Amino acid sequence: MNTPRARAMLFMGRRSHQSHAPHKHSPPAVANDLVISTVDENSGIAMLTMNRPPANSLSLEMNEALCYSLKTVEANPKIQSVILSSTNPKIFSAGLDITELVAPDNDRLPRFWNSLQQVYIDLYGSRLATVAAIQGHAPAAGCFLAMSCDYRVMSEGDTNNDIKKKHVPTIGLNETQLGIAAPPWMGQLLVRTIGFRQAELALALGTLFPPEQALSIGLVDDIVPHQQVESGDHKLVDLLPSQIKDQAQNSLLQKAYTQAQIYAKIPPQARVASKMVTREEHIFRMIAKRDEDTQHFCGFVTQKAVQKNLTAYVEALKNKSAKK
């Protein structure tokens, strides 16, 4: 599997390990609106907008929709960059859909985990330049999605003095706070992004970082104030799906668009080859241990003590939401 040809195929959008993966080329059953895909061939930029209310949490279907949409955009040779965004202005993605983990179905659980592994393989190994536009919270697997991209821009949030309007998004791998641990390939993404000691601390404590801190440790590459820009690139509007068409002046999306344009101008063979240098080993290591990883996840998550923690966490989330 780890031959030069297999490696090139992985990064050119053709999967040499397809038989191992649950991913299919046909649209997943309920995928269509979960991830809205828009393309602008003139600029070479596409946008994948996550659209799974209320929190863009990652269910089996959402993972399949992400892979399918990405694969479809990748198949278009005119596209070089993709922006990953959200229809929810306050949540990028709330991470795994916790209801997939509580009292799980024995058949579905390994399929669910496989679909998440596939998101990692497809997104981290995409031939496209990927820019995460993080407008809101990105905990746990939400942070993982962002870290799988090539560039992360985060909104500073609404720092309005009025406490009711104030909204400061956070990002990080907070798994330990739920009584679970990020899998090795996900934890290693944090190590690769922010360095060993910072990651060791953040993983153990389950730290969620507000934008300025996330920038200072390198978890995001840029932060932008929560505001409209006066004169943004007017071409962005062509890329926005109808659900967020009114966001053409949004500073975060404008910044993400500018970055996507910068990437789209780099000769693709050189850009893809440089991406392989930093990512291929990590991806192949994960693929080699994929079945083991699935077994470990299923065994871990179904433990009584873990189920107890997750049940309590879901209850707390629901109570919080009910009190609003």
Ligand X SMILES: CCCC/C=C\CC(=O)SCCNC(=O)CCNC(=O)[C@H](O)C(C)(C)COP(=O)(O)OP(=O)(O)OC[C@H]1O[C@@H](n2cnc3c(N)ncnc32)[C@H](O)[C@@H]1OP(=O)(O)O
Which residues contact ligand X by CB under 6 A?
A: 54-55, 57, 90-91, 94-99, 137, 139-141, 174-175, 178, 180, 182-183, 297, 300-301, 317-318, 320-321
CB of 177 or CB of 249, closer to ligand X: 177
CB 231, min distance to ligand X, A: 31
Six-digit token pair at 107?
A: 């058949």
Residue with smallest beta-carbon separation from ligand X: 95
CB of 45 or CB of 171, closer to ligand X: 171
CB 113, min distance to ligand X, A: 8
- The rounded distance, in Å, linking the Cα atoms of 216 and 220 is 8
| Contacts (Cβ under 8 Å, ≥6 apart) of 268 | 80, 127
CB of 3 or CB of 106, closer to ligand X: 106
292-320: burial string, b at 16+ Cβ within 10 Å, e else: ebbeebeeebeeeebbeebeebeeeeeee
C-alpha angle 73-79-85 in degrees, rounded to nearest 5: 60
Please, are residues 63 and 22 in contact by the beta-carbon 8 Å criterion? Answer: no
Six-digit token pair at 221?
A: 């590459």
CB 37, min distance to ligand X, A: 23
CB 252, min distance to ligand X, A: 17
CB of 262 or CB of 312, closer to ligand X: 312
CB of 94 or CB of 287, closer to ligand X: 94
CB 174, min distance to ligand X, A: 5
